[in-house]
Amino acid sequence: MEYTRLGSTGLKISRLGLGCGNFGGIGSAPEFFGMGESEAQAFALMDRAFDAGMNFFDTANAYGGGRSETYIGNWLKTKGSTVSQRLLLSSKVFNRVGPGPNDRGLSRRHILQQVDESLARLQTDRLDMYLIHEPDPETPLEETLVALDDLVRMGKVLYVGASNIEAWRLARGLWLSDVRNLVRFEWVQNSYSLLDRTAEREMFPLCEDRGVGFTAFSPLAGGWLTGKYRSAGVYPDGSRMTLRPEPYLHLVSDRTFRGIAAFADEARARRVDMSALAIAWVLRHARVDAAVIGPRTIAQLDAALPATTIAISDADAKHLANMF
């Protein structure tokens, strides 16, 4: 496993991180709480990921209604300090966790309450990495940054980042941190893949200019780049397109399916798995520090691991991107 610095920090992270969004549910959606990977399945995935050298696990307070963090905490308890001292825990806050009007968002109250809930479930006294799960237009960004700054000063959080954030809002947050002498967003965790290159337009130039790191989530575009979807309406049982298709409906087109077929041919010619090649393309970008992968099985995890060893030239990268 390769390791790199996270943005301008001194923190070294593995080029692949384990996404734990399906532990005990399917992301933060309440209708799927209790589904996803069981605790035993989650333990097996964490064992394999850690053995492979992945040193950060990515979760959120709302994943599986708290089950994801609970499973990770229980796993760490069985491993002892040798493992916990080597592992970086990354969690998030924003999504709804209860019925009340203050049970979501990025208010000072919600952040301070939820970080303690996350720490309790994870059975630890600090989070190495803490992200806002998405922006909260109803809360002043300054209020959020002051709360995060307090968490760092209290020692409950070490590094702060932002997920699902726009470039303009990140720029404003960085400015506020500068003028108010507050902790700043040290990295962005946004979607980036062959099928979603939005970050290239504004986010990557901003990150380069300000020394902000970038970790890519959904490098396989919700499974589309694994080859499991080859024609409209033919989707495997239990896949995202049967459970939560809304974020990916825009991909359902003949053009996408033609691109996937060409991409499959390229992977076959290279004698590598489609998922590994897709992740390798993401990792090749100079602005990408790491990719967060969310395998559902050990086989899927093993298929992705060679991504850090696949060489992709400038010409290769352009050729693969042009398929889509």
Active site residues: 63
Distance CA 124, CA 121 (A): 8
| DSSP states of 196-254 | B-GGGTTHHHHHHHHT-EEEEE-TTTTTGGGT---STT---TTSHHHH--GGGGGG-SH
The bridge status of strand 213-217 relative to strand 187-191 is parallel
Task: Calculate Rg over the CA atoms of the chain.
Answer: 19
For residues 289 and 4, is the Cβ–Cβ distance under 8 A? yes
For residues 68 and 39, is the Cβ–Cβ distance under 8 A? no
> Which helix (DSSP H) or strand (DSSP E) does residue 5 occupy?
strand 3-5
